[in-house]
């Protein structure tokens, strides 16, 4: 019979809207307004999953987001999502859910053997067993992953759309229960901008699961209606605060269309990620009931008392016909009376001996039996409960004895008290203190972080009665509004009972006939990570006494629920073992996210093409048309090589490299960093920034410069040209452009503010085509009005003119060692320049080349690439570039560091060429030069290869590298030992492999 | 995430800024005459306190101006932001 646990009437469900869904392939029905959890419970489905470590049968514990057990694989294919909590999934028609962590199926689980060998799986088992040897970890890991994994990640691309939004408000209210609604309405009435977030589908908080007075219901209805209509209020239902960051910056995930089912969101996103900056925050996050830790308290059917209440009141589901309520406080009596009123046979087992007369009388009226000073000593049944045994507690609560009463039941509704949800206050940097009256941690407002002004109100502040919640909410709403400059006039409140948790007498660990850890029974406190009281005892015996050690040793509180139901019990049990007070053991630190969130929500719109912006040069379209293969250089897309039909990369690069030295090549050099430097002190400034001299550089002349940091290490290089006495055009490496501009600004603004110098990035204002090769002059002359003769336009100078009518600055500088011109035109002419030169270059065998060829031909000349041949530990002297370091300047950045003992010592790695004995062998970049070859590492390293290529122009392989004392070792043979064990010999040479005299460049 | 009051632009989000360590460390003059220890003090040693810290920030994705801030490194409360070259503002006596 379907939905046999559904009540005839009552609840916030719509019995006219029947919904069909499947769980593990079987079809069930529920109603609109159900969660997956309530619908399963209505159908009498109590076994919902297997536990993480022992594969024990598990069912629902809770009705809210704290649920540790009922984790579902939701939907199939691309829409599938693992580890969703059945209690948070709003039912929709056609929903498909599958249980997790069982194989081959839920009823017969192979992994349940773990339960039988539990003696060998104590806390710290994984930690101890798989620590060493590290090599075996890889073997074990596969086994563990299969045996212990929870859900399965989707393997297909996410078909959903996610959005993100910023919001700013005066008052952010977290939680729309009585306290939150009172706070929000008070603040909103003052005119303050208010945002209310709540994780549930409708406002009401804990009241959704409670019986309410008509007066309260009316107030809530009016309050919600008024908030919803207010222009200064944003109500965000189905929205979970995931993180509370500094200066009241909070993030939240709104599940916009999840509840409609996969692919049914229309033009709305599936989820929206909110980034909210609030002047004041009111935390009204409520509290979470915690379980009692008793023998086999994880059997399906053992639930939290308030969950039983919620399923009855909100969903019209009676979880079972025979219910035992097990408690150490007053609040569960409400559950007992409510369940009895809905036809259940109810027994209350209270660990306390003295209970108020009023409570006892109310049970009598409801025909509920009461055991005082008793405890459940065992639970019978494994995939469900059929009975419990109840025995009398000793006076100290450490043992049970006397007559054992057997009570038949399907459900145990238990309550160990209420834990304020201090997660948000804790995330905001506030400290907690222990309140003995409620046996729980509450916010210590004297230890809040001042940059995060907030108020904790209601149950999350340890005030459990509705009356207190309303009063605290109104006060905080008024105070928060006042702090934002608004004046609040509190409205009228409904009169409500002074309900709440009432009296509590803690019993952190419920004894059974055997001592904890002996016998077959297990006392769970952390259900999701399968951690028991015996594990805490073991941790204590092995010296893991503080909460941080306890957590890591037992994994308690480290599952996806972050120990919402378990943390306090674990702390308290450890405190009892140590004979300490609970605060001495410590409190746990709560970290974002409050509940798990999807990567989709975090990513928002920034996925696919929008994940990272690409930078394109003005010639990009031509490169695409000409078949370039692109390389990522920073954010730039640069042509890597231009393969012709049938060519692979190697063939293309060999052809391009050869052409550069035989005819002429053309490179898109637009990505080079370009900085315009102006001001009367510009030359003085460059004197400090670069190692060489700049004051005497003539107008129209170019000079290569090295930049050092204050450690004396090379950090960028480039050619800078003097355009006028007070005007320079600096170039930097492609990757260093932003860093160098920042570096210049830092010195100008912080150290030399009196210098009259202005720096402007002009990287994107200029498009650059570099012509390199013996026929470059002929080609340039054929399209330009510039006199390109060697006398009129010498090496390292700049001329202005036109190229095919385009205004241009042409720099005669060379990164290939060939005759070369770098043609700069305003960016908008870049493509036209490129296309014009390609056409005009045909008679000169012009060849397009990419970054790979650029690397090969510069290496043939021993030109360094900063960041490839240098690594931040290399001085100009190490690079054999002392020719560029001024001996006459009093100071420049990094100069003093040359005299440091380390930088000036003998035997530093120095820049050399390397020629393998076998000219066909191309060394891998990064290969190590070793002092002595051994069978296996470690071996003493003397240096490494920084650049290595097959050079068509040298006719063999070439390499550059750093070698200890390398400048004195030219002619020596060194040995390289590769990762695969190969040993290669190479000769140490000068790094310039072509045209040592430099005649080609100057010709 | 901080809100930082740029002396030139006003309050902006931390993502627009980068921090560059301790402020009020002048580059020494006549560096050649410094001992290794003095030079090492300048390039390597910083106070790194838990508590009040005068430090350099740059509004990198904004006006690109450098400025100084007084921040409590334990609580991230920023007590002042001020222009480069301005004197250190006094640390408040009571701070959290
Ligand atoms: Zn600014």
Is the peptide bond between A593 and the residue preceding it cis, with omega within 30 degrees of 0?
Answer: yes
Q: Pick from A867, A969, A860: which is nearest to A908 by CA?
A: A969
Instruction: Name the DSSP letter for residue A215.
Output: H
- Here the tokens at position A115 are 């339960």
Whether residue A55 has pLDDT greater than 90 = no
Question: A450 and B84 in contact by Cβ < 8 A?
Answer: no
Whether residue A313 has pLDDT greater than 70 = yes
- Here the tokens at position A493 are 């409140």
Question: B36 and A899 in contact by Cβ < 8 A?
Answer: yes
State the average pLDDT for chain A.
94
Instruction: Name the DSSP letter for residue A911.
Output: E
Distance CA A14, CA A830 (A): 67
B19 touches chain A (CB under 8 A): no
Residues B54, B55, B59, B65, CA torsion sign: positive
**Which of A713, A740, A749 would best serve as a mutation to test chain B binding (most B beta carbons within 10 A)?**
A749
Q: What is the mean pLDDT of residues A522-544?
A: 93
Among chain A residues, the shortest Cα distance to B57 is held by: A746
- From the CA of B76, how far away is ligand 1's center (Å)? 20
Question: B36 and A742 in contact by Cβ < 8 A?
Answer: no
Q: What is the mean pLDDT of residues A248-259?
A: 98
Whether residue A692 has pLDDT greater than 70 = yes
**So what's the pLDDT on residue A152?**
86
Are the beta carbons of A131 and A63 closer than 8 angstroms? no
Among chain B residues, the shortest Cα distance to A750 is held by: B84
Are the beta carbons of A236 and A198 closer than 8 angstroms? yes
Q: Do strands A81-85 and A239-245 pair parallel, antiparallel, or not at all (unpaired)? A: unpaired
The confidence band for A153, taking pLDDT boundaries of 50, 70 and 90, is confident
**ipTM score here?**
0.97
A711 touches chain B (CB under 8 A): yes
Question: A891 and B3 in contact by Cβ < 8 A?
Answer: no
A889 touches chain B (CB under 8 A): no
**So what's the pLDDT on residue A499?**
82
B43 touches chain A (CB under 8 A): yes
Q: Which residues of A touch B96 (CB under 8 A)?
A: 449-450
- Where along chain A do the CATH 3.50.50.60 domains lie? 162-287+419-483, 291-416
Q: Do strands A454-456 and A271-283 pair parallel, antiparallel, or not at all (unpaired)? A: parallel
Question: A749 and B84 in contact by Cβ < 8 A?
Answer: yes
Nearest to B31 among A246, A751, A896 (CB): A896
Determine how many CB atoms are found less than 10 A away from the CB of residue A295: 26
- Where along chain A do the CATH 1.10.10.1100 domains lie? 517-585
- Where along chain A do the CATH 3.10.20.440 domains lie? 14-129
Please state the length of chain A. Answer: 1003
Among chain B residues, the shortest Cα distance to A739 is held by: B60
Whether residue A847 has pLDDT greater than 70 = yes
Q: Which residues of B touch A742 (CB under 8 A)?
A: 58, 60
**Which of B72, B76, B85 would best serve as a mutation to test chain A binding (most A beta carbons within 10 A)?**
B76
Distance from CA of A494 to the nearest CA of B (A): 39
The 10s digit of each residue's pLDDT in A940-990 is 999 999 999 999 999 999 999 999 999 999 999 999 999 999 999 999 999
SS3 A974: strand
SS3 A545: coil
B52 touches chain A (CB under 8 A): no
Determine how many CB atoms are found less than 10 A away from the CB of residue A1002: 13
- Here the tokens at position A498 are 């002074």
Q: What is the mean pLDDT of residues A264-271?
A: 96
Which has the minimum average pLDDT: A175-189, A576-590, A812-826, A832-846?
Answer: A576-590
Q: What is the mean pLDDT of residues A518-540?
A: 93
Are the beta carbons of A197 and A477 closer than 8 angstroms? no
Per-domain boundaries in chain B: 3-83
Among chain A residues, the shortest Cα distance to B33 is held by: A896
Instruction: Name the DSSP letter for residue A317.
Output: B
**So what's the pLDDT on residue A494?**
92
SS3 A942: strand
Among chain A residues, the shortest Cα distance to B77 is held by: A451
Among chain A residues, the shortest Cα distance to B24 is held by: A750
Whether residue A178 has pLDDT greater than 80 = yes
Q: Which residues of B touch A891 (CB under 8 A)?
A: 30-32
Are the beta carbons of A410 and A347 closer than 8 angstroms? no
Q: What is the mean pLDDT of residues A358-374?
A: 96
- Cβ-Cβ contacts under 8 Å for A398 (sequence gap 6 or more): A511
Q: What is the mean pLDDT of residues A268-289?
A: 98
Nearest to B43 among A429, A711, A891 (CB): A711
Tell me the fold of A14-129: Ubiquitin-like (UB roll) (3.10.20)
Residue A382 buriedness (CB in 10 A; 0-12 / 13-18 / 19+): middle
- Here the tokens at position A770 are 């570099």
Touching B: A residues 269-328, CB under 8 Å: 277
**Which of B77, B86, B94 would best serve as a mutation to test chain A binding (most A beta carbons within 10 A)?**
B77
A249 touches chain B (CB under 8 A): yes
Say how many CA atoms lie within 13 Å of A639 toward its Cβ: 29
- From the CA of B3, how far away is ligand 1's center (Å)? 12
Rounded to a whole number of angstroms, the distance between the first and last alpha carbons of chain B is 17
The confidence band for A104, taking pLDDT boundaries of 50, 70 and 90, is low
Nearest to A246 among B2, B26, B65 (CB): B2
Question: B1 and A429 in contact by Cβ < 8 A?
Answer: no
Task: Work out the percent of chain A whose per-residue pLDDT is above 70.
Answer: 96
- Cβ-Cβ contacts under 8 Å for A129 (sequence gap 6 or more): A140
Tell me the fold of A162-287+419-483: FAD/NAD(P)-binding domain (3.50.50)
- Cβ-Cβ contacts under 8 Å for A902 (sequence gap 6 or more): none
Q: What is the mean pLDDT of residues B78-95?
A: 91
User: Which CATH superfamily, name and number, covers B3-83?
Assistant: Folate-binding superfamily (3.30.2270.10)
Distance CA A431, CA A449 (A): 9
Encode A655-691: b = buried (16+ Cβ within 10 Å), e = exposed. bbbbbbbbbbbbbbbbbbbbbbbbbeebbbbbbbbbb
Q: Got the DSSP string for A231-273? A: TTEEEETTEEEEEEETTTEEEEEEESSGGG-TT--TTS-SEEE
Supply the pTM of this predicted model: 0.91
Question: B31 and A751 in contact by Cβ < 8 A?
Answer: no
Whether residue A180 has pLDDT greater than 80 = yes
Output the CA angle A889-A891-A893, nearest 5 degrees.
125
**So what's the pLDDT on residue A491?**
81
Q: Say if domain A291-416 classifies as CATH 2.60.120.470.
A: no
Question: A895 and B96 in contact by Cβ < 8 A?
Answer: no
Q: What is the mean pLDDT of residues A27-37?
A: 98
Tell me the fold of A673-764: Alpha-Beta Plaits (3.30.70)
Domain boundaries A863-1002, corresponding CATH code: 3.30.1360.120
Question: A895 and B32 in contact by Cβ < 8 A?
Answer: yes
B75 touches chain A (CB under 8 A): yes
User: Which CATH superfamily, name and number, covers A517-585?
Assistant: BFD-like [2Fe-2S]-binding domain (1.10.10.1100)
Q: Got the DSSP string for A885-926? A: S-SS-S--TTGGGGGSTTTT-TT-EEEEEEEESSTT--PPTT
Encode B52-62: b = buried (16+ Cβ within 10 Å), e = exposed. ebbbbbbbbeb
Across A786-925, the runs of DSSP E, i.e. the strands, are 798-803, 806-811, 820-826, 846-848, 909-916
**Dihedral, CA atoms, A65, A67, A70, A75, nearest 10 degrees?**
10
- From the CA of A280, how far away is ligand 1's center (Å)? 25
**So what's the pLDDT on residue A212?**
87
Are the beta carbons of A259 and A270 closer than 8 angstroms? no
- Where along chain A do the CATH 3.30.1360.120 domains lie? 863-1002
* Residue A990 CA to its chain's centroid (Å): 48
Are the beta carbons of A945 and A974 closer than 8 angstroms? no
Instruction: Name the DSSP letter for residue B27.
Output: P
**Which of A741, A750, A758, A889 would best serve as a mutation to test chain B binding (most B beta carbons within 10 A)?**
A750
A758 touches chain B (CB under 8 A): no
A895 touches chain B (CB under 8 A): yes
**So what's the pLDDT on residue A135?**
53
Distance CA B71, CA A601 (A): 33
CB pairs under 8 A between A and B: 61
Distance CA A294, CA A432 (A): 28
B60 touches chain A (CB under 8 A): yes
A225 touches chain B (CB under 8 A): no
A446 touches chain B (CB under 8 A): no
- Where along chain A do the CATH 3.30.70.1400 domains lie? 673-764
Distance from CA of A899 to the nearest CA of B (A): 8
The confidence band for A139, taking pLDDT boundaries of 50, 70 and 90, is low
Question: A745 and B26 in contact by Cβ < 8 A?
Answer: no
B55 touches chain A (CB under 8 A): no
Q: Is A204 left (phi over 0), alpha (psi -120 to 50) or beta?
A: left
A795 touches chain B (CB under 8 A): no
């Amino acid at each position: 019979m379907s939905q046999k646990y559904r009540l005839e009437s009552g609840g916030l469900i719509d019995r006219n809207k029947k919904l069909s869904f499947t769980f593990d392939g079987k079809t069930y029905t529920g109603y609109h307004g159900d969660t997956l959890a309530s619908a399963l419970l209505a159908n009498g489905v109590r076994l919902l999953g297997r536990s993480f470590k022992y594969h024990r049968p598990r069912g629902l514990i809770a009705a809210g987001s704290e649920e540790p057990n009922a984790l579902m694989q939701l939907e199939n294919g691309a829409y599938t999502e693992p580890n969703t909590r059945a209690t948070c999934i709003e039912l929709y028609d056609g929903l498909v859910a599958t249980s997790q962590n069982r194989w081959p199926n839920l009823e017969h689980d192979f992994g349940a053997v773990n339960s039988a060998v539990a003696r060998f799986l104590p806390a710290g088992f994984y930690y101890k067993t798989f620590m060493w040897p590290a090599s075996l970890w890889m073997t074990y890991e596969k086994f563990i992953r299969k045996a212990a994994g929870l859900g399965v990640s989707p393997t297909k691309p996410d078909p959903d759309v996610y959005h993100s939004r910023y919001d700013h408000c005066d008052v952010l209210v977290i939680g729309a229960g009585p306290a939150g609604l009172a706070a929000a309405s008070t603040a909103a009435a003052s005119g303050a901008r208010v945002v209310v977030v709540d994780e549930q589908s409708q406002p009401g908080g804990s009241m959704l699961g409670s019986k309410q007075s008509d007066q309260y219901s009316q107030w809530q209805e009016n309050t919600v209606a008024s908030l919803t209509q207010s222009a200064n209020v944003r109500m965000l239902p189905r929205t979970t605060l995931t993180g509370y960051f500094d200066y009241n910056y909070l993030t939240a995930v709104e599940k916009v269309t999840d509840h409609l089912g996969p692919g049914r969101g229309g033009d709305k996103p599936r989820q929206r990620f909110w980034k909210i900056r609030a002047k004041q925050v009111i935390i009204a996050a409520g509290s979470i009931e915690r379980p009692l830790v008793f023998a086999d308290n994880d059997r399906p059917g053992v639930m939290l008392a308030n969950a039983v209440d919620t399923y009855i009141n909100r969903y019209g589901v009676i979880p079972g016909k025979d219910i035992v309520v097990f408690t150490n406080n007053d609040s569960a009596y409400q559950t007992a009376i409510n369940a009895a009123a809905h036809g259940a046979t109810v027994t209350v087992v209270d660990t306390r001996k003295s209970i108020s007369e009023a409570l006892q009388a109310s049970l009598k009226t409801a025909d509920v039996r009461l055991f005082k000073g008793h405890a459940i000593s065992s639970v019978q049944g494994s995939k469900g409960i059929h009975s419990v045994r109840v025995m009398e507690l000793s006076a100290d609560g450490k043992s049970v004895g006397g007559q054992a009463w057997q009570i038949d039941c399907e459900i145990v509704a238990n309550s160990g008290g209420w834990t304020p949800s201090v997660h948000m206050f804790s995330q905001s940097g506030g400290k907690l203190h222990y309140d003995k009256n409620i046996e729980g941690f509450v916010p210590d407002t004297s230890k809040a972080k001042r940059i995060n002004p907030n108020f904790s109100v209601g149950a999350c502040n340890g005030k459990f009665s509705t009356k207190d919640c309303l009063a605290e909410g109104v006060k905080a709403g008024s105070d928060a509004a006042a702090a934002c400059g608004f004046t609040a006039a509190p409205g009228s409140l409904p009169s409500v009972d002074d309900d709440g948790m009432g009296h509590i007498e803690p019993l952190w660990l419920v004894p059974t006939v055997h001592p904890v850890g002996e016998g077959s029974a297990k006392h769970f406190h952390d259900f999701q990570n399968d951690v028991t009281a015996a594990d805490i005892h073991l941790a204590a015996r092995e010296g893991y006494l503080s909460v941080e050690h306890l957590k890591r040793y037992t994994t308690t509180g480290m599952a996806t629920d972050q120990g919402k139901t378990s943390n306090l019990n674990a702390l308290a049990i450890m405190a009892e073992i140590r004979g300490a007070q609970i605060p001495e053991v410590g409190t746990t630190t709560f970290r974002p996210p409050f509940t798990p969130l999807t990567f989709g929500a975090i990513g928002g719109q920034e996925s696919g093409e929008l994940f990272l912006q690409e930078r394109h040069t003005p010639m990009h379209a031509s490169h695409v048309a000409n078949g370039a293969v692109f390389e990522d250089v920073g954010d730039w897309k640069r042509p890597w090589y231009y393969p012709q039909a049938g060519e692979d990369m190697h063939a293309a690069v060999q052809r391009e490299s050869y052409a550069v030295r035989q005819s002429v090549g053309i490179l898109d050099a637009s990505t080079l960093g370009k900085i315009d430097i102006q001001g009367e002190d510009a030359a003085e400034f460059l004197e400090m920034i670069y190692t060489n001299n700049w004051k005497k550089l003539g107008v129209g002349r170019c000079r290569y410069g090295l930049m050092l940091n204050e450690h004396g290490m090379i950090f960028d290089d480039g050619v800078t040209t003097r355009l006028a006495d007070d005007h320079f055009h600096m170039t930097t490496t492609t990757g260093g452009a932003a860093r160098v501009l920042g570096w210049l600004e830092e010195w100008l603004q912080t150290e030399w503010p009196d210098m009259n110098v202005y720096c402007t990035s002009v990287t994107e204002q200029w498009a650059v085509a570099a012509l390199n090769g013996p026929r470059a002059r002929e080609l340039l002359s054929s399209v330009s009005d510039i006199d390109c003769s060697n006398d009129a336009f010498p090496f390292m100078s700049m001329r202005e003119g036109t190229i095919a009518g385009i205004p241009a600055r042409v720099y005669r500088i060379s990164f290939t060692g060939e005759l070369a011109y770098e043609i700069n035109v305003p960016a908008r002419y870049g493509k036209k320049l490129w296309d014009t030169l390609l056409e005009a270059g045909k008679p000169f065998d012009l060849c397009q080349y990419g970054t790979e060829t650029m690397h090969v031909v510069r290496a043939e000349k021993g030109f360094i690439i900063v960041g490839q041949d240098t690594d931040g530990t290399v001085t100009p002297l190490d690079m054999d570039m002392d020719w560029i370091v001024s001996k006459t300047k009093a100071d420049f950045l990094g100069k003093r560091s040359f005299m440091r003992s380390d930088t000036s010592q003998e035997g530093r790695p120095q820049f050399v060429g390397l020629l393998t004995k076998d000219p066909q062998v191309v060394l891998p970049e990064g290969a190590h030069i070793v002092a002595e070859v051994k069978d296996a590492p470690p071996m003493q390293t003397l240096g490494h290869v920084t650049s290595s290529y097959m050079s068509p122009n040298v006719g063999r392989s070439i390499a550059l590298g750093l070698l200890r004392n390398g400048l004195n070792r030219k002619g020596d043979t060194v040995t390289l030992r590769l990762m695969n064990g190969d040993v290669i010999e190479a000769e140490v040479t000068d790094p310039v492999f072509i045209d040592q005299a430099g005649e080609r460049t100057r010709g | 995430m901080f809100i930082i009051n740029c002396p030139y632009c006003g309050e902006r989000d931390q993502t627009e800024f980068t921090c560059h360590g301790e402020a009020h460390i002048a580059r020494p003059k006549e560096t050649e005459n410094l001992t290794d220890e003095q030079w090492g003090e300048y390039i390597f040693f910083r106070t790194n306190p838990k508590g009040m810290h005068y430090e350099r920030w740059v509004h990198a994705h904004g006006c690109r101006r450098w400025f100084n801030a007084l921040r409590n490194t334990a609580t991230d409360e920023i007590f002042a932001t001020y222009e480069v070259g301005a004197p250190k503002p006094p640390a408040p006596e009571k701070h959290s």
